[in-house]
C-alpha cells in the first residue's frame, strides 16, 4: 500500500496547518495492485470523513428527480433549493454540479452537504447528477449521464423555475472533467439555449498527466499519480489510458 501523500514532505513545501490537521490523521493509503474497488472504498471513506463535519444549512430542500439517461436507464438528479424559490414563479439561474471522486468513487449523497452549502451561500438553485461510475460505466458514458441531466434540466426549466439561458455547469476533480466533457456534448449537439458558463475546479481532463521525476511536492499529494492512473484505467481501459498515441474520445478525456 502507498500512502496517499499524507506525510510531511522533506521539501520546502509544507501543508497548510488546518489542512494537515484534517488529513494527516486519516492514514489513507491506496492499493499497490490495480484494485479499483478498493480505491473506491478508500475514496468514499475519505469523502465521508471530509464532509461529515459540514452541517446541511437550514432552509435548503433536497428533492430527488428521476430521469432517463442516454441508454434509457433511470438515474437521479438532486435538487437543492428553498421553499421560496419553489413557490415563486420567476425564472432564475441554476447550477448543475458534478461531484468528484476520481471517476471511480463519490456520490451525490456524499457531496450533499457541500452542494447544499453552495446553494445557501450563493442563493441559487443547484442540481446534482448521480452519474454512474467507472469501471461499470466506461468511456464517454459517464459524460453522457451528465449531459442527460443537463438536457433534462434545460428541457424542464419552466417546471423548476429556471431560466434555461442561465444554466451553468460546475464540478471538481473528476466532476470538473465530466462537466467539461458534458459541455462539449452540449456544444456538438447544439443544446438550445447553450450553456451559460463552466466552473471547473482542478478538473481531471487528461489521462496522459504525469508528474516530473523531480517533483518536490509528490509526498504532498492527496490524489497520487498511481491513483490517477487507476482512475483513468477504469474509464478508458488500462491498455489505452496514458498512451499518447491512443485515440481517445474528447467526451471521455476532454484534453
| Concatenated DSSP letters of 94-109 | EEEEE--STTTS--HH
The C-alpha cell of 165 is what? 439561458
What does the domain layout of the chain look like in residue ranges?
1-255
Residue 116: half-sphere exposure toward Cβ, Cα within 13 Å: 19
pTM score, two decimals? 0.91
The C-alpha cell of 238 is what? 488500462
Task: Express each pLDDT in 64-91 by its tens digit.
Answer: 999 999 999 999 999 999 999 999 989 9
- Residues in the chain, pLDDT under 70: 1-11, 22-33
pLDDT at 23: 64
Alpha-carbon distance of 106 to 96, in angstroms, equals: 16
Judging by beta carbons within 10 Å of its beta carbon (0-12, 13-18, 19+), is residue 136 exposed, middle or buried? Answer: exposed
pLDDT at 5: 44
**Which has the closest alpha carbon to 144: 201, 89, 185?**
185
The C-alpha cell of 197 is what? 458558463
Give the three-state DSSP class for 146.
helix
pLDDT at 8: 46
CB 2 within 8 A of CB 226: yes
> For the chain, how many residues are written?
255
**Which has the closest alpha carbon to 110: 173, 47, 172, 22?**
47
Task: Express each pLDDT in 122-166 by its tens digit.
Answer: 999 999 999 999 999 999 999 999 999 999 999 999 999 999 999
pLDDT at 9: 47
- The domain over range 1-255 is classified in CATH as 3.40.50.1820: yes
Alpha-carbon distance of 65 to 134, in angstroms, equals: 22
Alpha helices in the chain (DSSP H): 17-23, 36-51, 83-87, 108-122, 141-155, 174-188, 225-236
Residue 84: half-sphere exposure toward Cβ, Cα within 13 Å: 7
Find the farthest-apart pair of alpha carbons in the chain and give their distance in angstroms, rounded.
Answer: 58
CB 149 within 8 A of CB 129: yes
Residue 187: half-sphere exposure toward Cβ, Cα within 13 Å: 13
Neighbours of 23 (CB within 10 A): 19
Neighbours of 15 (CB within 10 A): 17
pLDDT at 1: 39
Amino acid at each position: 500500500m502507498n500512502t496517499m501523500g499524507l506525510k510531511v514532505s522533506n521539501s520546502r513545501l509544507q501543508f497548510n496547518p488546518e489542512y494537515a490537521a484534517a488529513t494527516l490523521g486519516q492514514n489513507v493509503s491506496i492499493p499497490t495492485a490495480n484494485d479499483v474497488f478498493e480505491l473506491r472504498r478508500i475514496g468514499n471513506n475519505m469523502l465521508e470523513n471530509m464532509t461529515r463535519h459540514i452541517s446541511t444549512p437550514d432552509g435548503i430542500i433536497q428533492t430527488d428527480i428521476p430521469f432517463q439517461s442516454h441508454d434509457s436507464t433511470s438515474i437521479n438528479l438532486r435538487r437543492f433549493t428553498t421553499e421560496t424559490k419553489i413557490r415563486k414563479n420567476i425564472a432564475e439561474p441554476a447550477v448543475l454540479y458534478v461531484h468528484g471522486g476520481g471517476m471511480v468513487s463519490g456520490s451525490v449523497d456524499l457531496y450533499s452537504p457541500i452542494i447544499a452549502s453552495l446553494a445557501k451561500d450563493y442563493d441559487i438553485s443547484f442540481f446534482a447528477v448521480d452519474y454512474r461510475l467507472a469501471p461499470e460505466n466506461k468511456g464517454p458514458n459517464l459524460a453522457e449521464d451528465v449531459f442527460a441531466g443537463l438536457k433534462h434540466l434545460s428541457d424542464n426549466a419552466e417546471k423548476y423555475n429556471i431560466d434555461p439561458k442561465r444554466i451553468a455547469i460546475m464540478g471538481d476533480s473528476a466532476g470538473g472533467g465530466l462537466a467539461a466533457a458534458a459541455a462539449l456534448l452540449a456544444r456538438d449537439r447544439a443544446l438550445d439555449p447553450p450553456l451559460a458558463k463552466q466552473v471547473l475546479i482542478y478538473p481531471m481532463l487528461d489521462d496522459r498527466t504525469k508528474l516530473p521525476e523531480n517533483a518536490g511536492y509528490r509526498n504532498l499529494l492527496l490524489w497520487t499519480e498511481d491513483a490517477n492512473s487507476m482512475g483513468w484505467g477504469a474509464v478508458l481501459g488500462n491498455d489505452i489510458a496514458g498512451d499518447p498515441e491512443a485515440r481517445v474520445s474528447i467526451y471521455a478525456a476532454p484534453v
